A and B are shown apart, each in its own frame.
Chain A
């Protein structure tokens, strides 16, 4: 299975901060990576697919990028509604696998 390692596992930030979350794949997955946002007691919601394609309706402050097997989710200016846990998931090969999550908390 392809392992996805997210860092950090949690972070504290203030409204307006720029936040960066990293997901490292254990092997090449090209751009077959999606980022999800999950709020407490809710299902994950996709934000960015194909490493950098913003899903419809997702604010433009979210962006994604890839460098080799390293993927980055950036929130350019953190808003109150962005406090949540973020997961990456690869869909290059079966079984699809998820990163361990990054919890973004209010500082």
Chain B
């Protein structure tokens, strides 16, 4: 059974960089698309972007200028960096897997709340 677990700071100051890591267990990171999705009361569910295990990425145009998603140094991890955060970036952040580039997300992490506040 594939499991995903997000980790990272729960509090980030405005204008700083939000950094999260997703650790994948129980399955191969190869041949899958690994996404970050966030959920906030104001904007609902929002896809941030994906990284393919080869390193190929695709980002939501609404966030593209501030987002970097990359495979981790550990073989079973990938990460999210979101720069210049504001209160609008406060959300629960999920990592998720899709078996293809445009397919439903079949495995999700439990989510981690990130609050942007000074």
Contact = CB atoms under 8 A, between A and B. Distances in A.
Interface of A: 1, 32, 34, 41-46, 49, 87, 89, 91-101
A41 B39 CA distance: 11
Contacts of B108: 43-45
29 contacts: A1-B61, A32-B102, A34-B104, A42-B110, A43-B96, A43-B109, A44-B45, A44-B105, A45-B108, A46-B104, A46-B105, A46-B106, A87-B44, A89-B104, A91-B102, A91-B103, A91-B104, A92-B102, A94-B102, A95-B47, A95-B60, A95-B61, A95-B62, A96-B102, A98-B44, A98-B45, A98-B47, A100-B44, A101-B45
Interface residues of B, number: 19
10 closest cross-chain pairs (CB), A and B? A43-B108, A98-B45, A34-B104, A95-B60, A91-B102, A96-B47, A49-B104, A95-B47, A46-B104, A100-B44
B16 interface: no
Contacts of B96: 43
Interface of B: 44-47, 58, 60-62, 94, 96, 102-106, 108-111
A1 to B, nearest CB: 8
Nearest to B48: A95
A71 to B, nearest CB: 14
A2 B51 CA distance: 22
Nearest to B63: A95
